């Protein structure tokens, strides 16, 4: 689940994009709803999608809606969720929602500051479902964001896990202006060992971006559980 653009500005449209997956081996044959819930302070109607025909085992469907907020710039926690009415009898009921932060910028592409430096950070690192069953499909996504005041050249981000998990991927990131962002996503098979694992996403792993003194904030970690 993510926003396009990653950091919208007040009074301009943004799109909430959400992929709903039936990661079980059982077809869902009853209608259900997916929602994207926004806090009241944003003044935005929640997004609601109805899956009238259910969702077959292993199937995924991407839905989206467009909204506009008149709130002041800042951060708000939003909640994409599936089957909030609990019409589906699931073995795992705790992985139906995630938290996604919406950051409203004062302007979408601030003018670069003369001599300004880029500052690449990782945002909204998500591992889903979490917890996950051994051998089940596992999805990882994150944003690479330039929160600095200078442009960043094209670079490479990477997701790694400890050797016991054996999950990693590289993500090509295009050049990013100030406030620009790029979305990275990958699908894995969950490890067979039932443990807690740490996933680490890092920006600019080849150190091609000169961030000045801000070279210490390029990574973000998330823990996931294989059960």
Question: Do 213 and 142 belong together in one domain?
Answer: yes
Task: Provide the whole-model pTM.
Answer: 0.61
Q: Give pLDDT, residue 60.
A: 87
Of 46, 73, 108, the position where a domain reaches its end is 108
Q: Where is the domain boundary, 55, 83, 108?
A: 108
Based on C-alpha coordinates, what's the Rg of the chain? 19
| Domain encompassing residue 5 | 1-108
**Total number of domains constituting the chain:** 2
Whether residue 35 sits in one domain with residue 137: no
Share of residues in the chain with pLDDT > 90 (%): 43
Examine the domain organization and report whether 116 and 195 are in the same domain: yes
CATH number of the CATH domain containing 171: 2.60.40.10
* Torsion of Cα atoms, 70 then 74 then 77 then 79, to 10°: 30
* Chosen domain end from 108, 136, 160: 108
pLDDT tens column, 92-125: 666 677 888 888 876 655 555 556 789 999 988 8
Residue whose entry in the numeric block shows the structure tokens 């990131």? 173
- Same-domain pairing of 121 and 88: no
Residues 141 and 136: their CA atoms lie apart, in Å, by 17
Q: The tokens of 140 are what?
A: 């990882």
């Amino acid at each position: 689940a993510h926003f396009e653009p990653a950091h919208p500005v007040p009074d301009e449209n943004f799109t909430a994009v959400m992929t709903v997956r039936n990661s079980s081996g059982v077809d869902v044959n009853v209608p259900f709803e997916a929602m994207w819930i926004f806090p009241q302070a944003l003044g935005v109607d929640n997004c609601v999608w109805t899956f009238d025909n259910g969702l077959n085992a292993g199937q995924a469907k991407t839905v989206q809606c467009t909204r506009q907020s008149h709130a002041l710039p800042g951060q708000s926690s939003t909640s994409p969720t599936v089957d909030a009415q609990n019409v589906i009898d699931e073995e795992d009921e705790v992985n139906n929602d995630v938290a996604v932060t919406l950051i409203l910028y004062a302007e979408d592409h601030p003018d670069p500051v003369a001599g300004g430096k880029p500052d690449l950070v990782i945002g909204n690192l998500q591992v889903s479902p979490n917890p996950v069953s051994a051998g089940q499909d596992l999805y990882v996504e994150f944003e690479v964001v330039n929160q600095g005041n200078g442009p960043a050249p094209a670079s490479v981000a990477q997701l790694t896990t400890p050797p016991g998990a054996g999950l990693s991927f590289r993500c090509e990131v295009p050049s990013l202006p100030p406030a620009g962002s790029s979305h990275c996503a990958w699908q894995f098979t969950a490890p067979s060992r039932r443990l807690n694992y740490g996933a680490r996403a890092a920006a600019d792993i080849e150190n091609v971006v000169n961030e000045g003194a801000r070279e210490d904030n390029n990574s973000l970690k998330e823990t996931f559980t294989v059960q």
